[in-house]
Structure 1
């Protein structure tokens, strides 16, 4: 027999599941703000630069069909759009970005952060999981406090090891990764099968997995916050969905795929 506490938890869980199943899509908000790093800036999607018009979150290019584009199609014809994400940002920068979203009175805030916390020069330089979690908590709390009615969507970190696997055999990728010093914690010695290098890559991916678990822990109990359930982390990106400029960031097709797989999970994309 369930204890009183367990029964109460089960009742609440069942109620929430039922409510979620029956819930219709929320009315589109008047404003959206993106927080995060180069992924939300669509870095290297249209050249060696940030390409925010191709962003999965706030982009305006039709082929991407971003969250912003979908909100407009749902009726938010005067949608105010801001992209506060920054190329190279780590989780420690997220609270300041959240404060910007509050000042902008954003009613829908997307967050994707963590790749740069794992993509460091060395494994030792990766952000500790506890510090990462504290930064994300501070950011979500800032939005909850400053804009209590704003809805927050948190996207998981793509599988970094998958990005390595897709392109490690390409000479161009190996050249760019070495010359640009891209994510060396994962991408150094990309063809090496030495035990130390295999272990290093596994350690980096394990930290990214820890970050995703932290995103879920922070978002799930927060007001109006939805985590993607590792939809992005579990998605198996193909070669065409990765930029041929750095063989690591999502291409235009990759940005479109992130928008596609995350949109149904948002309060606005519910069936």
Structure 2
């Protein structure tokens, strides 16, 4: 019995020591006062802040679009004046978007204007391809007015075609530059431009040379046929803006102006004193302000 008791006590002592040893490891981690590797693995590391998708300070700008972006009729009659372009112009009177974003010196070498007077949405894919070759960080788009400004309402670009052409233009850019940002301006309110410009006799004479006949033709006519014609043009402009907003919304790096250009109440000070339809230098400056606010606004 004595020997057996000694053996039992020895076994119990060894078991107790092992249990206490395990408990000590669990309490002290690696035995040196640090936490165990398992505990370290369970610690939650803070995730890095995500990189913002929209950069409010792009380092280069390319512009595509129509006569408005070319500064048409802002300096001389029936002529482009790209130095006063709202998007890329160098004029201090306008303080263009490129100058606001980059500064005058850098804007001179890091901005490009590929817009063309008279162009329609069908021309935008080609302009986008030329803009992509410059590898800009931002592309501005202002197009669609000439799709509504046709010889007749029947000649206006169908909405479905307008959508397909804009999607083609965006696809052209995205295949070349997946991360370039795009600012899309709404089509101006052509009916308001008619209502402002028709008060000027000289402007109406210039309109007869072929400026936006679907809206500006027979400027003083107020009969039912003329009213219906202008309302048809206006509705098409609104449909175009709906398309621009919808297509842009599908691209995470695209910002539509929310209708800001369409809503802007151009007065006589903001209209060309040659044709009373295109923006004057002051009008170009207002367009630059609208674009700058949209591009630098914080994401909602």
Q: Tell whether the 8 Å contact from 2:54 to 2:181 is kept in structure 1 after alignment.
A: no
Which one is further off, 82-91 or 71-80?
Answer: 71-80
**Deviation of 1:167 (Å):** 1.6
TM-score (norm 2): 0.78
Q: String of CA shifts for 1:5-55, please: whole Å, max 9, x gaps.
A: xxxxxxxxxxxxxxxxxx898353232110000011010111131111111
Runs of 4+ displaced beyond 6 Å: none
Secondary structure of 1:199's counterpart equals helix
Residue 279 (structure 2) pairs with residue 247 (structure 1): no
Residue 86 (structure 2) pairs with residue 56 (structure 1): yes
Q: String of CA shifts for 1:104-153, please: whole Å, max 9, x gaps.
A: 11111000000100001111110001111111111112212211111100
Aligned to 1:168: 198
Q: String of CA shifts for 1:170-213, please: whole Å, max 9, x gaps.
A: 211221111x1211100111111110100100100110111111
- 1:39-50 superposed matches below 5 A: 39-48=68-77, 49-50=79-80
Larger Rg: 2
Aligned to 1:89: 119
CA distance in 1, matches of 2:229, 2:125: 30
Which one is further off, 72-81 or 59-68?
Answer: 72-81
Residue 68 (structure 2) pairs with residue 68 (structure 1): no
1:74–1:58 CA distance, 2 compared to 1 (3 A): closer
TM-score (norm 1): 0.86
Specify every segment of 5 or more residues in structure 1 that has no aligned partner in the other structure, as ranges.
1-22
Specify every segment of 5 or more residues in structure 2 that has no aligned partner in the other structure, as ranges.
1-51
Aligned match for 1:234, one of 263, 279, 298: 263
**Count of residues paired in the alignment:** 247
Aligned match for 2:189, one of 159, 172, 176: 159
CA distance in 2, matches of 1:263, 1:187: 30
Secondary structure of 2:202's counterpart equals helix
